Chains A and B, each alone.
Chain A
């Protein structure tokens, strides 16, 4: 049974130009109905003991302290929370104040993931974010939360090495226990993607993006934030347990519109339509839109491409065939076999898709 719970809050003040996550503009009345439906879904699917809870979005911090209180009360009523459970809420610098932070801590939230993205106002505007560097810095000074993570984005059109170094410096100075640094990805059907296609924006050169990635690994490493997943860095013991569970193929339950679950070798997805979600639950139905079993072959593929995201790699004690298939990739300096783990080298990490496809090929997986 899943011991990780994800809850999706699909509301934002405005949608960022690059974002392809499920979110709709915040509306007080809709949010109220959504919460009611969400609580219903929590009741229907409770009964598990949770080691991690993650409230993501959208912008969860759009919700009022009372709404959070309501959600956490329902979770505690229908689930068991393990002692020391990791409880994360995603926050946007513009929607976080001392009062809200205090309320969240009071409810047991012990980890905040703050969507800073950049410390350059020009880059924040380019990304269509609705906060400024100054607001981001203020949000980071919330002493009450023991574990703060911040999100950064690199590879922004127009971004220079100099501004990236500056952003990294500020981020490190803020003293987070965890950082996620993502390369900006043009997802189809986003305004950012359209701008690239139409030539209104230019992608930064590959060599620059590679340099930014490598520089981040060095800079964080020198400050105790070790690289543990392609885009994630943490002080020892502060790796995100909720996310590690995804990459290790642990089970999880996802509640809310568009949320995904993985239980009993099935991957399922809730409807992505907020109103449909509300309507289905109002009739007492589970809002599941699709549920697909994971075949033995898919399982090996998942173990491979998810496991290789982590710098520790894949434990090959029971997967000797993987190590065998990796022979040529090891020779080429893309992978390493160490401590019974098969992992990607730094060069390999940047080519992880191509390496995974090569392994599928060697293993004769579709």
Chain B
């Protein structure tokens, strides 16, 4: 690599590190595009949202992985600045990643839709930024909309958040209005990084992924010291040492740099084969002169939701194993271990950050590796204590043992924003889901912010969908973990034609068990297709049947006419029918479609 082509390291006082936080669809990605265009990082206006690079991200309109772009900006004061835009994931499943991205910055743009106003995620992410001591610049976006009410939104922000709403910048990311004001505000208000390039190295990991040629690509914010190709570095959590092969920045193209100094943001590669060593939130230091302590706030990331993944065809087990190994290279937050199920055979128990993460992983395994999978009923992880004081973590209902006396389950703090005319139904919903109300505050004239504490298992599945449907889409929510709390739980067994199907069993709250049992058998009746014999679905508690439904036997599946001209066509129809069955899992003699395992989570209350 010739020296000239390397990007110059920047002077600390002219660096600004910032993020953009927003509620979904408030225009974060579009504003990022305008900023990239304005600073010349993005050429050609039609390039769609560069920061979202995975197909799945673009399809779902959310950012799954974080990313960072280095921008050059000559401000009105005539000075050249380096702005590092650190993108954050936009879904509650990835709150921890968001917090680490924010920890890498000195400032954040809080983008709020001028028509919709503050939403739960604006609130939650603003507080994440405040917790990380960031300078917050409120941006009221979409002022071009006919329904825009920038002054009303300004008032809301001033009321609900400890920020200076008077200084909020009005923008339309769609037509570019206000982009320059945003850039000027970043230069003027976001403090430059502090830290010495000569101090022991201290760099915070806020993202990493696997590259087939380079190994792990680790995105860092350097707080202290300098890292260069050849530097011997140490990952403080694992204690593992590596020699840096390359350092650089994204402009947004990957571009090598001579080194990264205190205050800078960029990537490090060091021929790291195992991406799980590069945990988000961990600190990289120098192996020869380590920093006395790591950056604050590192947490070993813990999966919140567990589910079994099984191949529909037994002979795809090895292929699934290979696929999961490859996927994990890129997604350290996805964990798995082999397990077996009486009903489903051999598969894996997997841990995910949330249900969206679970869906993404399954879709990627199916789409990128051509597998057909069964996703068993998701569950949270429980803590069980036996009489002798032994503690066991349960993340599969089949590990349940009635002898456990004391049980704990994960709780979350849920923040809900809702227009006041819908609040009654939302209160009922939270009540049904065992929520305890902690706050009830008006934000502006007609919107209410609710804070509840409730079991994670109660919001896991369809809470958000119900919230949205009760409020015609106007409510928004966010949540964060609160830790484990005591709970009264029982295991609900599901039997199909008299045999318990382990992959369908659930751990439920005792006082809801009867109700859940009825719901589960009803939903299963709705999704299991008719078979050549009667299918009986039962729910049982401790061996006692509490609910029963049956699916009548199919009586007629016959082709009336078949003569000389029909033979090939009929054969193909039967082959198609066979393909349909291949998408189902045979349990005993019953063919169960994939959606049955997830339908168990559906509720009607």
Contact = CB atoms under 8 A, between A and B. Distances in A.
Interface of A: 6, 182-185, 206-207, 209-210, 230-231, 243, 246-247, 252, 254, 258-262, 267, 269, 292, 298, 301-302, 305-306, 309, 328, 332, 334, 347, 349-358, 360-361, 365-366
Contacts of B568: 260, 267, 292
A262 B565 CA distance: 9
23 contacts: A6-B564, A183-B560, A206-B556, A209-B556, A230-B560, A246-B563, A246-B564, A247-B562, A254-B564, A254-B565, A262-B567, A267-B567, A301-B575, A306-B567, A309-B562, A351-B554, A351-B555, A353-B557, A353-B559, A357-B577, A357-B578, A357-B581, A366-B578
Given A230-B560, A351-B555, A353-B574, 9 more contacts: A246-B562, A260-B565, A301-B575, A305-B571, A332-B533, A350-B558, A351-B556, A352-B557, A360-B578
A352 B559 contact: yes
Contact of A231 (B561, B570, B573): B561
Interface string B574-601: 1101100100000001000000000000
B56 interface: no
Interface of B: 532-533, 554-565, 567-568, 570-571, 573-575, 577-578, 581, 589
A302 B558 contact: no
A268 B561 CA distance: 19
Contacts of B574: 301, 305, 353, 356-357, 360
Contacts of A261: 564
A183 B565 contact: no
A350 B567 contact: no
Nearest to B559: A353
B564 A206 contact: no
Most chain B beta-carbon neighbours within 10 Å: one of A182, A350, A352, A357 = A357
A328 B571 CA distance: 23
B560 A231 contact: yes
Complex A-B, nearest 8 residue pairs according to Cβ-Cβ distance, in ascending order: A260-B565, A183-B560, A354-B557, A182-B560, A353-B557, A350-B556, A357-B577, A246-B564
Given A246-B567, A267-B567, A328-B589, A306 B562 contact: yes
A334 B531 CA distance: 12
Max chain A C-beta neighbours (<10 A), residue from B554, B559, B573, B574 = B574
B536 to A, nearest CB: 15
B555 A332 contact: no
B565 to A, nearest CB: 4
A132 B282 CA distance: 87
- Residue of B556, B557, B567, B581 contacting most chain A CB atoms (<10 Å): B556
Contacts of A358: 532
B558 A351 contact: yes
B556 A298 contact: no
Nearest to A305: B574
Contacts of B578: 357, 360-361, 365-366
A282 B537 CA distance: 65
Contacts of B581: 357, 361
A247 B565 CA distance: 12
B554 A353 contact: no
Contacts of A269: 565
B555 A352 contact: no
Contacts of A306: 562, 567
Contacts of A301: 571, 574-575
Contacts of B562: 230, 246-247, 306, 309
Nearest to A22: B565
B564 A351 contact: no
